[in-house]
Amino acid sequence: MLEEHKEISRSQHLSSLKFSARYLLSLVNDILQINKIEENKIVLENLTFNISDEITVIKNSLSFLSQKNNNSISIDIDPHIPEYLIGDKLRLAQILMNLVSNALKFTKDGQVEIIIKLNKVEGKLHYLDFLIKDNGIGIAVVDQNKIFEKFVQVGRKDEDYQGTGLGLSIVKRLLGLFGSSITLDSDLGKGTSFSFTIAFEHDLAKTKSIIDEIEVDLTSSEVYKILVVEDNLINQLVTKKIIEKNNYACKVVDDGFVALKILEDETFDLILMDINMPLMNGFETTKRIRLQGIETPIVALTAFDKDEITDEAISSGMNDIIIKPFEPVKLFKIINFLINEKNAV
């Protein structure tokens, strides 16, 4: 919608929807991979972001929840914090979304405060103190050591929203990835405060480099032919739209057998291959394509964790892997690289 309807691209509702979808996807991934968090197998990303913009999006995304219990959300951000920081903004958003949404659930007719102060500067690292404070029901002392355990829920009535009991457990583990820890201060009937400190980098040259890489125009004057092998109709539609928007020709087939048949008569510049298909999966399809002597670059499009399938993907003859849902810019960077690499041979 944001791509096709430029007139509503600045819609606050659409921005919140996109943010919430990305947050939900990341949260689900963490629930599925909580052991990986505990084993520190998740690597933080370096993205450039504006802290004020991120907090505003979080506030807007939680507006429905705040209205439900007649709460207000206030924001206090230290003006000494640089405009652009570098770090894993999505993981930070997960932490804040969990803490703020928890505060809103257990506060009625009250206020939730998001306070961010600059603690210290060491070289390019800016240490930010985060405080999420509410005047809600509070947490009993006897329960305060339990709430960061997995699947633990305290102070809830049967009719309350139950949730998964994973929110604070995930917060604790994500903060561990940042090399930080969380502090809790709470009194029954008076409210709760959660605080933590995270260091983010401030480097204007690096920020410019990251922005330039994200915003690079990848539309091509060449009309490349892309074959998409995908059985899911929604994925077919979305992938085809993204590819054709970049002025590439695109053909979509439902399964591996049809792909093998069409490759007998047509040549393509690149093949996007789903892994989990009925009849014949993407690995087997790729093996058969290679046995026919076809050297067209093949990229796996999959919802599987990349680490779990890399070995099998390489041994089947695939050239790269993209995890769904993907950012179009990443897809086209890989497509352009593989096609140019093949053409250079």
**315-326: b or e for each residue (b if 16 or more CB lie within 10 Å)?**
ebbbbebbebee
- Identify the pLDDT of residue 157: 44
Q: Which of 147, 146, 135 is nearest to 189 (CA)?
A: 135
pLDDT category, 36, cuts 50, 70, 90? low
For 272, list phi and psi in degrees, rounded to 5.
Answer: -100, 120
- 6-209 CATH fold: Heat Shock Protein 90 (3.30.565)
Share of the chain above pLDDT 90, in %: 41
Instruction: Assign 159 a pLDDT band (cuts: 50, 70, 90).
Output: very low
Secondary structure element (H or E) that encloses residue 300, with its range: strand 298-302
- In 151-245, DSSP assigns E strands to 183-187, 191-201, 225-229
Which segment of 42-46, 89-93, 268-272 scores lowest on mean pLDDT? 42-46
Least confident of 68-77, 142-151, 290-299: 142-151
Whether the predicted pLDDT of 260 surpasses 60: yes
Quote the pTM value. 0.59
Whole-angstrom Cα Rg for the chain: 24
Considering the domain delimited by 217-344, tell me its CATH architecture. Answer: 3-Layer(aba) Sandwich (3.40)
Domain residues of the chain, as ranges? 6-209, 217-344
| 113's tokens | 């405060």
Residues 108-114, mean pLDDT to the nearest whole number: 95
Which has more pLDDT, 79 or 158? 79
Task: Name the band, by pLDDT with cuts 50, 70 and 90, for residue 38.
Answer: low
pLDDT at 162: 42
